[in-house]
Chain A
Amino acid sequence: MKQRVKFTFPTKLVTEPIIYGLGKDYDVVTNIRRADVTETQGWVVLELDGNEQDIERGLAWVTKAGVRVDPVGGDVLTG
């Protein structure tokens, strides 16, 4: 399956190879479409391709590491 997400990185994780780890350890193919990464913060919009369980486990690891994961397009739940 494919999933489109936005990763937002805090300062301490900007230099960590999170996306590489997602591919190497969780077998998720990542395809970056837009990004803005500076020394102090960063966000990346990407497509994830893999089986559902691998993506779920991979995103759980990414989230636990401290990266914020959102669906592309911002929050759906609104007032």
Chain B
Amino acid sequence: MMAYARALKAKEGGREYPLEAMNICEWTFSPLEVVYDYEAMRGVVTRERIESGPLSMWRYRDLLPVWDGPIVDMQTGYTPLVKADNLGEVLGLNNLYIKNDCVNPTYSFKDRVAGVAASVAQKLGFDTLACASTGNLAGAVAAHAAKAGMKCYVVIPADLEKVKVVGAAVYGPTVVAVSGTYDDVNRLCSEIADTYRWAFVNINVRPYYSEGSKTLAYEVAEQLGWRTPDHAVVPAASGSLFTKIWKGFNEFLNLGLIEEVRTRMHLVQPQGCSPIVTAFSEGTRDVRPVKPDTIAKSLAIGNPADGFYALDVLKESSGSAAAVSDPEVIDGMLLLAQTEGIFAETAGGVTISGLRRLVESGAIGKDDLTVAYVTGNGLKTQEAVEDRVETIKVQPTMESFKQALGL
């Protein structure tokens, strides 16, 4: 049996379904979410129980929708929460932390969600994992499929950069390159998921997959000494990560593991793809799809599935939202690397430059305990900063060396 997960529940209308491979309510066509028996967990899922677990995301296994028995474990998670004094000094913050998910097995936070998806898929009897991705998810799913001994199909746009293709293909999936727009890829994937008995991580096992992101809340709360931060700055593509971090903090509160949730949740997006930020700043509940145009490719989702629910979290947490330009994204990547030695991908640049905007606007105070989430490794998006790094050329003589460097 699945430890504490009870059912899938529709976000609109509340209809419940058994724990099977499905993601949409048959009645309202709204997304399904895993719901848990928190009553049964209280007093059993304790700080001590968690602290005695493995040094990975799986220490929170009780709060994840996985069955008793084998899981696909790549020792993802329990990533560093780094006190960022150097970056803090630049930004005017005395209590800043970076949650560094650059260091996961396939170098992004997507290993968390892929681990849950693969574990659930295996238990539900699927022999094939699939996803549609421009990068991080492709690598994470392919790697987990390899670890699990499952077949794997990765669907990509045909114009995807070679380095990103290699980053997924190396694990041995079948890589399907679709000629067409991103909209074409989306439509094709929906049809594929309806046709074949594959665990399509972002479609028919999406409710389970997305729960993996909650571990980014749990870890931060535990690493801060069983408390939540005053502010969390989170980049948003579909909005799923943003909503799940909020869910994770509140689950800890529900179980009595922490005393309060004091976090203001701040959502950041690139200006070239910021439908959630636009809706928030216009004060509307209507998240209008856009055509993405940004270097932050991992955040380039024009029609965010959880945009609406991200707006709910912004309201509940009294948070705010910011959209940053591509030049600011690059500046953010460089600033983080050159103050804290963390090379984050473009999404990380969105986080850092968004954080800067929030400090400048007064949304974050200088002594507030702030956690900025950095979700992927910079080696995946080197092209974004390659024009901003330089070398000094010298001849192989001391004279040339001294002259060129002024030493």
Contacts and interface: CB of A to CB of B under 8 A. Distances in A.
Interface of A: 4, 8, 33-34, 36, 38, 41, 43, 45, 47, 68, 70-79
B386 to A, nearest CB: 20
Given A71-B190, A74-B238, A79 B133 contact: yes
Contacts of B133: 77-79
Nearest to B304: A74
A78 B203 contact: no
Given A4-B24, A34-B12, A34-B30, A75 B137 contact: no
B31 A73 contact: yes
B305 interface: yes
Given A34-B12, A34-B30, A75 B182 contact: yes
B301 interface: yes
A73 B347 CA distance: 23
Interface stretch (B70-78, B292-300, B315-323): B292-300
Q: Which of B29, B238, B347 has the most chain A CB atoms closer than 10 A to its own CB?
A: B29
Given A73-B203, A74-B305, A79 B135 contact: yes
B186 A70 contact: yes
B202 interface: yes
Contact of B186 (A33, A47, A76): A76
B138 to A, nearest CB: 9
Contacts of A73: 23-24, 29, 31, 203, 206, 305
3 A-B pairs with the lowest CB-CB distances in the bound complex, closest first: A74-B305, A79-B298, A71-B190
12 contacts: A8-B288, A34-B12, A45-B28, A71-B190, A73-B29, A74-B238, A74-B304, A76-B186, A76-B189, A77-B133, A78-B238, A79-B298
Contact of B301 (A34, A68, A75): A75
B289 A70 contact: yes
A33 B298 CA distance: 31
B196 interface: no
A56 to B, nearest CB: 10
Given A47-B29, A70-B289, A74-B306, A79 B301 contact: yes
A72 B24 contact: yes
Given A36-B286, A73-B24, 9 more contacts: A38-B286, A72-B24, A72-B29, A73-B206, A74-B303, A78-B202, A78-B238, A79-B135, A79-B347
Contacts of B237: 78-79
A79 B305 CA distance: 13
A71 B12 CA distance: 17
A36 B279 CA distance: 15
A43 B287 CA distance: 10
B132 interface: yes
Contact of A70 (B30, B155, B286, B303): B303
Contact of B27 (A8, A33, A79): A33
B187 interface: yes
B288 A79 contact: no
Nearest to B187: A71
A72 B380 CA distance: 30
Q: Which of A47, A74, A77 has the most chain B CB atoms closer than 10 A to its own CB?
A: A77
Contact of B303 (A33, A36, A41, A75): A75
Nearest to B292: A75
A8 B202 contact: no
Nearest to A72: B29
A72 B11 CA distance: 14
B137 A79 contact: yes
B134 interface: yes
B302 interface: yes
A4 B303 contact: no
B186 A75 contact: yes
Contacts of B347: 79
B390 to A, nearest CB: 29
A8 B289 contact: yes
B304 A77 contact: no
B186 A71 contact: yes
Interface in B30-62: 30-31
B3 interface: no
